[in-house]
Amino acid sequence: MADELEPVRRGGVPEPRGFTPRQIVGGALVAVVVVLVLQNTNSANVHLLLFTASAPMWLVLGGIMLMSFAAGWLVGGHRARRRRD
């Protein structure tokens, strides 16, 4: 029964289990970001065009991380659509 759930490649050879290099690099990057955020807890001034705001550094880094993730997700979706066409 467990054999039915295991992914199989051509030729009937079971696909190896484990982490892909992409997952390992992604996990390492997340770990680096978490350490960076936890070590930078003091306040920072953020300047954007004519506006200036003061916020905790962890909040600034977290916001930048979320914006970077969103930009990568948006660009990645475009790339996947372009490959399909």
Q: What is the pLDDT of residues 30-69, one digit of tens each?
A: 898 788 878 877 888 888 888 898 888 888 888 888 888 8
Least Cα distance to 65 among 39, 24, 32 occurs for 32
Tell me the CA end-to-end span of the chain in Å, nearest whole number. 38
Taking the C-alpha atoms of residue 67 and residue 56, their distance in angstroms, rounded to an integer, is 17
Q: Which range marks the domain in which residue 18 is found?
A: 2-84
Query: What are the structure tokens assigned to 56, written together?
Result: 């905790």
Taking the C-alpha atoms of residue 28 and residue 64, their distance in angstroms, rounded to an integer, is 18
Whether the per-residue pLDDT at 8 is higher than 70: the answer is no
Q: What is the rounded average pLDDT for all residues in the chain?
A: 78
Count the domains in the chain: 1
Q: Is the dihedral of CA 79, 83, 84, 85 positive or negative?
A: positive
